[in-house]
Amino acid sequence: MAIGRSPSVKDVAAAAGVSLGTVSNVMNRPEVVSPATRDRVERAMAELGFVRNESARQLRAGTSRTLAYVMLDGSNPFFHDVAQGIELAAEDADLALFICNSNARADREALHLDRLMQQRVQGVLITPVDPESAHLADVARRGIPIVLVDRVAPGEFCSVAVDDVLGGRIAVEHLVEQGHERVAVIGGPESLGQMRERLEGARQFWAEQGLPPEDLTFMPTAAMTVAEGRSAGERLAGIPARRRPTAAFCANDLLALGLLQQAIGAGLRIPDDLAIVGFDDIEFAAAAAVPLTSVRQPRQELGKAAAQLVLEEAAAATHRHRQLTFTPELVARASTRSH
C-alpha cells in the first residue's frame, strides 16, 4: 500500500512471478495465457491497484486512442447536441473524446489544433472559424484526418452538414403556406456560406411562386445570438406597418428566441402579428413561451456521421474526401400556427 509512484507492469510481473510480456498478454490477448497464470496476474493487478499508463501505450502504438472535437461556440446548445452524437460514436469505437471550444476565435482554434497534433489524436472534428484557414490545411497535411461539421469545403476536407438551401426553402414555404406575403430573412454575417445558402433557398422558393422579390426582406445581423435577434426585432418594429413583414425566418434558434422575446415585450401577438421560424431546433426552441417552429437539423446524427467519417479516413490507406449532406425537416409549432 506504499504509494510512491503508481505500479507498472514490471511491478505486477514481479508480484505475480511472471515476465513483463505475460502481463501484457493478460491485458491484450488473454486467450494465449493459461487460466492459472492469468488468474495470478489479475490478482496481482488488483492487489497493487495497477492502472495502465496510456502515454506509454500511445508512445509504443504511435497513435492515441483519442478523437477531438473543436466546437465553434460553447454557448450554443446546437453544438453540444452534435458533441453528444460524436461521443456516442467514439464510445462505440472505444475512443476517448477531447472536446475543445474555440469560441469563434481563430487564435484559440489554432492553439487547440496545435495541442491536438502534439497529442497525436486519431482525427479532428471541427466547426472552424474559417474553413479556408491555413492552419487547418497544415494539420491535414501532417496526415491527421479532419472532418468539417456544419461547414463545407469541397475537395479540401470531408464534411457533414445539412442541405442549407433546402432548409431555407422549406422554412419560407411553410410561411407562405400559412398565408404570409411579406417575410423577413434574418441572419448573418453574410460571409457565412451557410447563411448565403439558406437565404438562397428562401429566394428560390419565393421566385418560383412568382412573389414580388421586394416582399422578401433580408435583414443581416452581425452574429447569430439572442442579442442580435432582439435588435433585429427592434429594426423590424421600425418598419411602417403597411410594409412590415408578417413573418420572420431566422437563420438559427438563438436569433429566433431573441426576436420572440423582443416581439412579445413590444406587445405583439405570436403568431398573429408576427410568425417566427428558427433553424436548428435546439431544445430551448420547443421550451420557449411560444414554442418555436424550427427547421430541424439531425444534430446527433450529424455528430455520429462525422465521427464515422473521420474514423474511415483514419483507417483507409487511400481516401477521397466526401461531403455528407443530411436533409433538414420542418417542425411546426405555435410560433407559426394560429391554432
Shortest Cβ distance from residue 204 to its own copies (Å)?
A: 32
From 8-16, 98-106, 137-145, 181-189, span contacting DNA (CB under 7 A): 8-16
Binding at 315: pick from DNA, its own copies, none (beta carbon under 5-8 Å per type): none
Distances from the Cα of 284 to the Cα of 11, 14, 280, 288, 290, angstroms = 53, 57, 10, 6, 11
Q: Does 14 bind DNA (CB under 7 A)?
A: no
Instruction: Give the one residue of 72, 171, 172, 288 binding its own copies; rule: CB under 8 A.
Output: 288
Nearer to its own copies, 94 or 214 (CB): 94
Helix and strand element counts for the chain (H, E) = 13, 12
Q: Does 246 bind DNA (CB under 7 A)?
A: no
Place of cell 436548428: 280
Identify the three-state secondary structure at position 161.
Answer: strand
Binding at 257: pick from its own copies, DNA, none (beta carbon under 5-8 Å per type): its own copies
Nearer to its own copies, 287 or 315 (CB): 287
From 17-25, 140-148, 285-293, 304-312, span contacting DNA (CB under 7 A): 17-25
Q: Does 28 bind its own copies (CB under 8 A)?
A: no
Shortest Cβ distance from residue 223 to DNA (Å)?
A: 39
Q: In what order do the strands lie in the sheet with 329-331?
A: 216-220, 183-187, 247-250, 275-280, 293-296, 329-331
| String of contacts with DNA for each residue 26-45, x by CB under 7 A | -xx---xxx-xxx-------
Binding at 87: pick from DNA, its own copies, none (beta carbon under 5-8 Å per type): its own copies
- Give the integer Cα–Cα distance in Å for 70 and 261: 31
From 58-66, 230-238, 290-298, 323-331, span contacting DNA (CB under 7 A): 58-66
Binding positions for DNA, rule: CB under 7 A: 5, 8-10, 17-25, 27-28, 32-34, 36-38, 50-53, 56-57, 59-62
Binding positions for its own copies, rule: CB under 8 A: 3, 5-6, 49, 51-56, 58-59, 62, 64, 74-75, 77, 80-81, 83-84, 87, 96-101, 115, 117-120, 141-143, 226, 257-258, 260-261, 264-265, 283-284, 287-291
